[in-house]
Protein backbone atom coordinates (compact mmCIF):
# COMPACT_ATOMS: atom_id res chain seq x y z
CA UNK A 1 0.00 0.00 0.00
CA UNK A 2 1.28 3.43 -0.94
CA UNK A 3 1.81 5.86 1.91
CA UNK A 4 -0.24 9.05 2.19
CA UNK A 5 2.66 11.34 1.20
CA UNK A 6 3.36 9.20 -1.87
CA UNK A 7 -0.31 9.21 -2.89
CA UNK A 8 -0.43 13.00 -2.60
CA UNK A 9 2.77 13.31 -4.63
CA UNK A 10 1.35 11.01 -7.33
CA UNK A 11 -1.89 13.00 -7.52
CA UNK A 12 0.10 16.24 -7.75
CA UNK A 13 2.28 14.78 -10.50
CA UNK A 14 -0.79 13.70 -12.47
CA UNK A 15 -2.31 17.18 -12.21
CA UNK A 16 0.96 18.87 -13.18
CA UNK A 17 1.41 16.56 -16.15
CA UNK A 18 -2.12 17.18 -17.38
CA UNK A 19 -1.76 20.93 -16.87
CA UNK A 20 1.47 20.88 -18.85
CA UNK A 21 -0.35 19.07 -21.64
CA UNK A 22 -3.10 21.70 -21.64
CA UNK A 23 -0.46 24.42 -21.92
CA UNK A 24 0.80 22.62 -25.06
CA UNK A 25 -2.71 22.39 -26.53
CA UNK A 26 -3.10 18.71 -25.70
CA UNK A 27 -6.34 18.69 -23.70
CA UNK A 28 -6.34 14.92 -23.33
CA UNK A 29 -3.51 12.52 -22.50
CA UNK A 30 -3.64 8.78 -23.03
CA UNK A 31 -3.32 6.67 -19.92
CA UNK A 32 -0.31 4.84 -21.34
CA UNK A 33 1.51 8.13 -22.03
CA UNK A 34 0.71 9.41 -18.54
CA UNK A 35 1.80 6.13 -16.97
CA UNK A 36 5.09 6.16 -18.88
CA UNK A 37 5.76 9.86 -18.27
CA UNK A 38 5.25 9.49 -14.52
CA UNK A 39 6.76 5.99 -14.36
CA UNK A 40 3.84 4.67 -12.30
CA UNK A 41 2.37 1.22 -11.91
CA UNK A 42 -1.22 0.83 -13.13
CA UNK A 43 -2.55 0.53 -9.59
CA UNK A 44 -1.05 3.84 -8.42
CA UNK A 45 -2.12 5.74 -11.53
CA UNK A 46 -5.63 4.29 -11.35
CA UNK A 47 -5.96 5.14 -7.67
CA UNK A 48 -4.81 8.71 -8.29
CA UNK A 49 -7.22 9.08 -11.21
CA UNK A 50 -10.16 7.75 -9.19
CA UNK A 51 -9.42 10.24 -6.40
CA UNK A 52 -8.93 13.21 -8.73
CA UNK A 53 -12.03 12.32 -10.75
CA UNK A 54 -14.10 12.04 -7.56
CA UNK A 55 -12.86 15.52 -6.63
CA UNK A 56 -14.03 16.81 -10.00
CA UNK A 57 -10.53 17.79 -11.11
CA UNK A 58 -10.10 15.35 -14.01
CA UNK A 59 -12.18 13.33 -16.43
CA UNK A 60 -11.14 9.75 -17.10
CA UNK A 61 -12.16 7.35 -19.84
CA UNK A 62 -11.53 3.88 -18.44
CA UNK A 63 -10.45 0.70 -20.17
CA UNK A 64 -12.32 -2.52 -19.49
CA UNK A 65 -9.49 -3.38 -17.06
CA UNK A 66 -10.21 -0.23 -14.98
CA UNK A 67 -7.03 1.55 -16.04
CA UNK A 68 -7.09 5.05 -17.53
CA UNK A 69 -7.47 5.05 -21.31
CA UNK A 70 -7.57 8.85 -21.61
CA UNK A 71 -7.34 11.57 -18.97
CA UNK A 72 -8.05 15.29 -19.11
CA UNK A 73 -8.36 18.18 -16.69
CA UNK A 74 -11.83 19.50 -16.05
CA UNK A 75 -12.52 23.22 -15.93
CA UNK A 76 -12.28 22.98 -12.14
CA UNK A 77 -8.92 21.23 -12.48
CA UNK A 78 -7.57 23.90 -14.82
CA UNK A 79 -8.73 26.65 -12.46
CA UNK A 80 -7.05 24.93 -9.50
CA UNK A 81 -3.77 24.60 -11.38
CA UNK A 82 -3.95 28.24 -12.50
CA UNK A 83 -4.51 29.34 -8.90
CA UNK A 84 -1.55 27.27 -7.74
CA UNK A 85 0.61 28.73 -10.50
CA UNK A 86 -0.38 32.26 -9.49
CA UNK A 87 0.34 31.54 -5.81
CA UNK A 88 3.77 30.17 -6.69
CA UNK A 89 4.54 33.25 -8.79
CA UNK A 90 3.47 35.53 -5.92
CA UNK A 91 5.71 33.58 -3.52
CA UNK A 92 8.65 33.86 -5.93
CA UNK A 93 8.05 37.61 -6.26
CA UNK A 94 7.93 37.99 -2.47
CA UNK A 95 11.20 36.05 -2.18
CA UNK A 96 12.83 38.27 -4.82
CA UNK A 97 11.62 41.39 -2.99
CA UNK A 98 12.97 40.06 0.29
CA UNK A 99 16.33 39.31 -1.34
CA UNK A 100 16.46 42.86 -2.77
CA UNK A 101 15.72 44.31 0.66
CA UNK A 102 18.43 42.17 2.26
CA UNK A 103 20.89 43.25 -0.41
CA UNK A 104 20.03 46.90 0.20
CA UNK A 105 20.48 46.39 3.96
CA UNK A 106 23.92 44.83 3.37
CA UNK A 107 24.93 47.69 1.09
CA UNK A 108 23.78 50.27 3.66
CA UNK A 109 25.72 48.43 6.37
CA UNK A 110 28.83 48.37 4.19
CA UNK A 111 28.51 52.09 3.43
CA UNK A 112 28.07 52.96 7.10
CA UNK A 113 31.11 50.86 8.05
CA UNK A 114 33.28 52.41 5.37
CA UNK A 115 32.13 55.87 6.39
CA UNK A 116 33.34 55.41 9.99
Mean pLDDT by groups of 10 residues along the chain of 116 residues: 89 96 92 95 96 98 95 96 94 91 88 76
Written as one string, the DSSP assignment of 36-85 is: HHHT--HHHHHHHHHHHHHTTSEEEEEPTTSSEEEEEE-HHHHHHHHHHH
The reported pTM is 0.80
8 A C-beta contact, residue 71 and residue 77: no
Amino acid sequence: MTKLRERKNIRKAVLESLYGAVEHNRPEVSGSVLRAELDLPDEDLSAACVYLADEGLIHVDWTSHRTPAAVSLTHVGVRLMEELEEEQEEEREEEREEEREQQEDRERAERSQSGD
